[in-house]
Chain A
Amino acid sequence: MSDTQNLTLVQAVRDGLHGELRADDDVVVMGQDVGKNGGVFRATEGLYDEFGGDRVVDTPLAESAIVGCAVGMAAMGMRPVPEIQFSGFMYPGYDQIVSHMARFRARSRGRFTLPMTLRAPYGGGIRAPEHHSESKEAFYAHEAGLKVVVPSTPYDTKGLLAASIRDPDPVIFLEPKLIYRAFREEVPEEAYTVPIGEAATRREGDDVAVFTYGAMTRPTLEAAETLAEEGIDCEVLDLRTISPLDREAIVDAFERTGRAAVVHEAPKTAGLAAEITAILQKEALLYQEAPIERITGFDVPYPLYALEDYYLPSATRIEEGIREAAEFEP
């Protein structure tokens, strides 16, 4: 067993970046305020001092250039790790993400690949100003050629980040900022990877399969404990990667329970829950005992903070939704 450190999720990001910067000279961290300031969430704290301004780069305020230049660097075999300060500000870079980052390999018929990892804090619940709380992972999951990772624990964060940076393909790495500092976990000091594309079972149970990821994992587990007292036993699957989805694990959990709920904070329409529901409909129709519940954000612009608690699925709302799935009788 190697030594461990007790880290928060954002410290695990930093630790993951640190390890990859040290291991591989081609890794470059770049973005707004990532250098001297150490990132507005301190995700890159100290890296500038250790690796210098050519490897931990403060860029001008220009997302299109940040993503587009990373595309060019990655095409030349470097491993850029651009940071977008908040996922709500990815849109000026969106053209580069979908027109180029996602399809360079396909367009060049495999001549070029883009080993780049675009990181951004995302999601709500921190009383932030406008455009600082959105959850638009479906945009990226919808885009072929990208992998989309959303960790929910410090251990996974470090391992998935290392796996993403080493991956030959471009990865969108969305960090749920609500849980950046919510809890700590023992994390190995040495580098390791957690494979992209594998879900993790966070709780075993036979009655309802609940699929979630990111910051919603914790209230979902809380809801599952409340329901367990009533005799409703939930299996909780943390997807960890939303593109590609771990279809096998999803279908398997559903076949054992026959009932499912999907929890995410993103809006309901055309969100990940719709995709998961469609997978189950096709792959496991005959196992289905109840309508699949979607417990999600509403189809409205993310509100300013006076109303954000009504927007985000709470443990109680999740519990109610799962109960519907559990109690349904045809």
Chain B
Amino acid sequence: MNVFDRAYDDPVRVLDEDGTVVGDVPDLETEELVGIYRDMRLARHFDGRAVSLQRQGRMGTYPPLSGQEGAQVGSATALAEDDWIVPSYREHGAAFVHGLPPERTLLYWMGHGDGARAPDDVNVFPIAVPIASHVPHAVGGAWASKLRGDDDVFVCYFGDGATSEGDFHEACNFAGVFDTPTVLFCNNNQWAISVPRERQTRSATLAQKAEAYGFDGVQVDGMDPLAVYAVTEAAVEKARDPPDGRLRPTLIEAVQYRFGAHTTADDPTVYRDDDEVERWRRKDPIPRLERYLRDEGILDDDRVDAIEAEVEERVADAIEAAESAPRPEPRALFEHAYAELPPELEAQYAELTALREERGDAAFLGE
């Protein structure tokens, strides 16, 4: 059965909560399966370290992703290298899979503008903080890909809250009208800060919203990385090469949960109870895939330990790299606003430089 021909409230599933197979296991090489596991462990470990850096005052506000690794890693694994990721602010794990060095993510949340710049050969858009504002970019990027005859698919990540914004609806409408190769990937983690999914919309699912725009919508168990992989792969394939009578875009609703706070500035105990968190923890995507891979004889203790060590080292290196980056020079304030620095900005920079020379950094930093 085509994954798109199902009821909106019938999520695609491959592994149940114990790692037992309940659906069609996607056709992946052993090492690709291990790769999904390793990338989820990387995202989880990165996340824990990032939260702790914030607590220690070594980083600013940070949006945690724990719980959402299955959706992020499963989906990003289904992309070709030339495809594009258009993230919101929480998809660190997806970005790593697509080639973003983790130290960039750290730098960004450490307040360095350079952190938002992906290397030129990594097809990841800069983080978008205003909710849903980036969804039209993904549709536009995909539209450009189609107009120019490139074959690249754009995957846009956003939350359940984002589906309430006008930008989301306008972008979906364009995606349908212009039949753009866009995968609209909704990380429905149940909460938009303190506002639950039920207060975001009265529709029974988010997936069904696609119906209004004329393309496919599908729900997937977002904490089942193999199911997410399968659905995204199908959506990407359709975006590139749609069968007759089907539009290229797909809205994927990945049903999942964020275990931690919305950001390190948020206290979720004010609005949700521990029972709920516990219920969802049982669906944790990492032990679930691990159990399956162990049952299949693909993973054993040694391999798991080796992966853990590899992941820890990678994150430690990234932290070291980010923390040893020098404070950016004030010139960076001015440099990137325009392709060429306008005379008035050059003058403002000169003013800043003169005062810095005369009074030192104390003139600015209040030291």
Q: Report A's interface with B, CB cutoff 8 A.
A: 32-33, 35-38, 40, 58-65, 88-89, 91-92, 127-132, 268-269, 298-301, 303-311, 314-317, 320
Contacts and interface: CB of A to CB of B under 8 A. Distances in A.
B21 interface: no
B365 A306 contact: no
Nearest first, the 3 A-B pairs at minimum CB distance are A37-B194, A305-B111, A60-B164
Nearest to A219: B366
Given A298-B333, A306-B327, A61 B270 contact: no
B200 A314 contact: no
B331 to A, nearest CB: 10
A268 B348 contact: yes
26 contacts: A36-B271, A60-B161, A60-B195, A60-B200, A62-B164, A64-B165, A65-B166, A92-B130, A92-B166, A129-B61, A299-B345, A300-B333, A300-B337, A301-B337, A303-B332, A304-B112, A304-B116, A306-B327, A306-B328, A307-B113, A307-B328, A309-B365, A310-B333, A310-B352, A314-B366, A317-B355
B363 A269 contact: no
A61 B345 contact: no
A92 B266 CA distance: 23
A37 to B, nearest CB: 3
A63 B349 CA distance: 36
B161 A61 contact: yes
Contacts of B133: 92
Contacts of A88: 130
Contacts of A132: 129
A82 B352 CA distance: 39
A310 B364 contact: yes
Given A38-B270, A61-B200, A130 B355 contact: no
Given A130-B129, A298-B348, A33 B195 contact: yes
A91 B130 contact: yes
Contact of B271 (A37, A65, A299, A316): A37
Nearest to B166: A64
A307 B332 contact: yes
Contacts of A62: 164-166
Contact of A307 (B109, B132, B161, B330): B330
A310 B330 contact: yes
A318 B240 CA distance: 57
B334 interface: yes
Query: Which residue, A58, A89, A268, A300, has most C-beta atoms of chain B within 10 A?
Result: A300
B328 A58 contact: no
A303 B336 CA distance: 11
Given A32-B195, A62-B165, A298-B348, A304 B111 contact: yes
Interface string B344-357: 11001100100100
A303 B333 contact: yes
Given A60-B200, A130-B129, A304 B113 contact: yes
A138 B140 CA distance: 31
B341 to A, nearest CB: 10
A303 B113 contact: yes
Interface in B80-116: 89, 108-113, 115-116
A131 B129 contact: yes
B362 A316 contact: yes
B34 to A, nearest CB: 34
Contacts of B61: 127-129
Interface string B102-142: 00000011111101100000000001011111000000000
A63 B162 CA distance: 11
Given A62-B165, A298-B333, A316-B364, A130 B200 contact: no
B148 interface: no
Given A37-B193, A40-B266, A310-B352, A305 B165 contact: no
B359 A316 contact: yes
B167 to A, nearest CB: 7
Contacts of B165: 61-64, 92
A309 B161 CA distance: 32
Nearest to A313: B364
A114 B144 CA distance: 43
Given A299-B348, A307-B328, A311-B333, A58 B164 contact: no
Given A63-B165, A299-B345, 6 more contacts: A58-B195, A61-B131, A61-B132, A61-B164, A129-B61, A300-B345
Contacts of B270: 36-38
Contacts of A61: 131-132, 161-162, 164-165, 192, 195, 200
A178 to B, nearest CB: 12
Contacts of B132: 61, 92
B334 A300 contact: yes
Nearest to B351: A298
B333 A60 contact: no
A90 B108 CA distance: 23
Nearest to A311: B333
Given A58-B194, A60-B195, A298 B334 contact: yes
A210 B327 CA distance: 33
B265 interface: yes
Contacts of A127: 60-61, 111
A33 B129 CA distance: 17
A34 to B, nearest CB: 9
A306 B110 contact: yes
Contact of A309 (B164, B167, B195, B366): B366
Interface in B310-339: 327-328, 330, 332-334, 337
Given A37-B194, A91-B130, A306 B201 contact: no
Given A37-B194, A60-B164, A129-B60, A89 B111 contact: no
A298 B60 contact: no
Contacts of B167: 92
Contacts of B110: 306
Contacts of B116: 304
A320 B330 contact: no
